[in-house]
Amino acid sequence: MINALLWAPLAFGFLGLFLPRRASGWWAVLGALVTLAIAAWMVFDFDSGSSGLQHAVDVSWISGLGVDYSLGVDGLNIFLVALTALLWLAGTAFAAFREQERPHLFFFLMMLAETATLGSFLAQDLLLFVLFFDLMLVPFYFLFGAWGSDRAGGPTAAAATLKMIVYTLVGSLLMLVAAIATAIISADGGHLTFSIAAIQQQGIGVDSQRWIFWFFAAAFLVKMPAFLLHGWMPDAYRAAPLPVLLVFSGVLAKVGAYGFLRVVLPLFPAAAIEFQEVVLVIALASILYGSVMAFTQTNVRLIAGYSSVAQLGFITAGIFALRADGSDGAVLQMVNHGLVVAPIFVIVAILVERTGTEDIREMGGMALRAPVLAALFLIIVLATLAMPGSANFIGEFYILNGLFQSKIVFALIAISGVAMSAYYALRLYQRTMHNRKPDGVASREIGLRDTLVLGPIVLCILALALYPQLILQRTAPTVEQTVAGVTGGNAPEAQLARK
Amino acid sequence: MTFNEPHIDYAGISPIIALTVGLCVVLLSGVFKPVKRWAPGLTIVTLAAAAGLLIWQWGESKDLISKALRLDDLAISISLIAILTAAFCVLLSVREPATEEAGSGEYHSLLLGSVLGMVLLAEAQNLVTFFVALETLSIPLYILCATNLRREGSLESGLKYLIVGSLGSATLLYGMAFLYGGTGSTNFDGIALGIADRGMLGDPLILIGIAMAAVGLAFKTSIAPFHQWTPDVYQGAPTPITSFMAVATKAAAFAVFLRFFDVALGPQVDDWQPALAVLAAISIVVGNVGALGQDSLKRMLGYSGVAQAGYMLGGVVVASESGVSSLVFYLAAYSFMNLAAFAVIVARERETPFGDGIRSVRGLGAERPLLAWLLTISMLALAGLPATSGFIGKLYLIEALVEGDYTWLAVFIAVGTMISLAYYLPVVAAMWMRPRGEPAAGAAPAIAGASPDADPIDPDAGRRLHLLAPALLAAAATVFFGIIPQPLVDFAAHAGASLF
């Protein structure tokens, strides 16, 4: 079943190459739907009491090099897999409703990207993880570069994409070296294996952990992107086609945060404790910088982009609280953030279609004749700013709670990020929906097609707001185990997460 | 009077005999008009026969001709790579003006002569056979580079290669003289014995010899800073010959590099290891930086070849079984990805008036999606992205390097790969992301390599099977071994086991 989940998108994408032009989009939507169905079944089938791997597959792939084809779901990745499947369905449906150039190739690449992303979430072998992590870049390179828009007075789409690829590959190539070093050091002349569980059991020396930690951290922090490593983000976000940006921003940034939980904490616990404060400083800088940039930018894409920098800063801070509740909140918040940032890009696309600009200074009054659009947007915005009652509030609460108990100074600074998020989210809403409507801009209600794309995501936001335990209950056992591996004991406050 | 005939292992030298006979037949076929057209076919038959005989000998491990040659899996695997590349080169040479001008018989027999040299070089375990094989390999190539008689660039390339190549050979020969002087033996194991047993370990005589031999080999494998000839020669030579040089020469030279350093100079390993590691690092940096901003695809691939040679040298540096295996794996993977690229470049050279400039592939994704896919796969593989054999090759090399305590060189490979994206990806971008560049109406294209009497344009070149089939095969192999690498890993592991 897990194989079907992983390869279904690619199989659909490949077959879609041979269909007539007009059918290829809907065929891809069908593929994404099938994937989502399998993912939903897995969530339903998930044994919430267990912290171990479920639906695990483990066969030898390149025996000479010790690489296994090893997949599995547990509390860390099950909801990220579901999020991936959901957002990809939204992205492909959104693209299929609109005319695409060279649709065969576009939807093939979209589906390839889904398989690669699912692969990096599911992989339980270090090298397989690195492989999928790098593979994700290939389809996005083409999608951004060939279907993106050149910016007048700025870099072309191809140039912006190249910058993104070079940035992210710097990290991931060093990660390849680090992964191989990890396996060789832990094998210590014995049988070479890249299995994450096996390496965790054997453990590696503290001295080696120090440099390997940073090789991995670099890859993950660039992907997020974190402050100082975000240089690729503004150009790439402005060049990217919106349906692709939707999945990119919604899911790919989480792969970095997920990597910390899946790889860094279990394999390099000593280094994680040693460098806890350094990473927290980076995370806080991301929160502050991302928030400040988000409320000074005027381009709607960049507002969403910088707000992601801030949110990912929160998630990183939660993980590096090195406490179970912080990491619980981080996992929940990863899902929440994916669920709010993706619909924001859908709405951005709708607004751009109506106003012909991406600048919020030239927008306004869009709510005038579009109450449904405004209501949907309002729900999303309130979730973004972590309104009490939303699942984002629970997520941020857990993160801050964890941070308070481990590093109170950092927590106090992080709180300012919560306040700033209210400012930039409401500013985005007001400037676009309220205020005076510029001349020549029509306020139209959201169409049925876009409602079909937005509706399910907003329903998920509402459902999680009512019942966040759905995620917390299932993730807590695995998260506790992961964090206990670092701190060396099962902290009592971890019970909080399960209550 | 009795005559004791020496034992001759005809089975072992059968591939060499096949190539020699084939060479003579092909040369003679060029003389007789009715069979002139058969030269490419006869060449393919010869190569197939030699490949078949080599595969028949797979798994053998024996000394030939009183220890002048050694037939083992390393020699066989490298010879197979060289033969495969030569077969591709024959296909790419169909309809190539250079073939016509030089005479089809001569052109193909020279090619076979070079292959013969490569097979000998891969088997050489004696200084004399080593040198003779290297010259057998090189001299036909000097001529082949200059076969496009009407193009100045081609002649220049041949001359340049001749001068630089001779310098390299001379340096190597000088180094060999020192080694022979120091150890009193020309056999590789005799040299090892001489260094270890006669108290020559660390003797200046030996060290000078090693240094000069390394420099000579670095010339042949185009390792920086001895690479200056590479871009010029690659650009000027007829493209099928460039593809042959880029892949086969490198493979054969690395085979002897491995055997010479790991077997003959094994006792001196602590001295040459760091030196070669530094050479590899320099090569990675110089190659990758040099390739940036190159407009000619062949020049770009020339510089990229310098960088890739640096990666591969890592396999020699660690002097271990996994080092040899990873190098053989990388060479095999490298040959497929390069051949796919060169086949597409040949097709575009004949289709457009832009020669091998990057303009020739602009808009290829819309115009010829199949060709664009093939070149894309090749570029992504050269850049080492996953789902291609390039990724597995890098993985294998880095694993060998980290195991051999050369993690810093592995980091160099990672950083070099990162730089390399900045010249591989623009080729991909040109194919898929920009509109097609139209030539200025009426004006003769003013680009490198195209003279007023440029080769006639063949608008259907990209659809011809003799170009498409090899490109497809090479790209398919690149993807296949990226997803199911086990067969190639086993192949390389056999080769690695034969030295240690």
Q: What is the pLDDT of residues A215-245, one digit of tens each?
A: 999 999 998 888 888 888 888 888 889 899 9
Cβ distance B407 to A158 less than 8 Å, yes or no, reads no
A130 pLDDT more than 70:
yes
Cβ distance A131 to B485 less than 8 Å, yes or no, reads no
B434: confidence class by pLDDT, cuts 50, 70, 90: low
| ipTM of predicted assembly, 2 dp | 0.88
Residue type, A304: A
N-to-C CA span, chain A: 32
Name the 3-class secondary structure at A388. strand
Distance CA B151, CA B129 (A): 35
Residue A21 buriedness (CB in 10 A; 0-12 / 13-18 / 19+) = exposed
Query: What's the pLDDT score for residue A247?
Result: 92
**Which residues 43-72 of A have a C-beta within 8 angstroms of B?**
61-65, 67
Cβ distance A180 to B399 less than 8 Å, yes or no, reads yes
The alpha-carbon gap from B418 to the nearest alpha carbon of chain A, in Å, equals 6
Contact status of B490 with chain A (Cβ, < 8 Å):
yes
Cβ distance A162 to B422 less than 8 Å, yes or no, reads yes
Name the 3-class secondary structure at A60. strand
Distance CA B303, CA B282 (A): 13
Query: What's the pLDDT score for residue B392?
Result: 93
Contact status of B399 with chain A (Cβ, < 8 Å):
yes
Of B260, B252, B262, B244, give the one whose Cα is nearest residue B221: B252
Q: How many CA atoms lie within 13 A of B279 on its CB side?
A: 27
Cβ distance B411 to A177 less than 8 Å, yes or no, reads yes
Query: What's the pLDDT score for residue A37?
Result: 95
- Chain A residues within an 8 Å CB radius of B426: 158, 162
Query: What's the pLDDT score for residue A497?
Result: 43
Helix B104-123 / helix B10-29 crossing angle, nearest 10 deg: 160
Q: Which residue is closest to A129 within chain B, CA to CA? A: B386
- Chain B residues within an 8 Å CB radius of A169: 417-418, 421
Contact status of B485 with chain A (Cβ, < 8 Å):
yes
The alpha-carbon gap from B367 to the nearest alpha carbon of chain A, in Å, equals 12
Query: What's the pLDDT score for residue B435?
Result: 56
A330: confidence class by pLDDT, cuts 50, 70, 90: very high
B304: confidence class by pLDDT, cuts 50, 70, 90: very high
Cβ distance A158 to B391 less than 8 Å, yes or no, reads no
Query: What's the pLDDT score for residue B455?
Result: 63
Total Cβ atoms within 10 A of residue A205: 11
Contact status of B500 with chain A (Cβ, < 8 Å):
no
- Chain A residues within an 8 Å CB radius of B392: 62, 65
B441 pLDDT more than 70:
no
Contact status of B479 with chain A (Cβ, < 8 Å):
no
Residue type, A111: M
Model-level pTM?
0.91
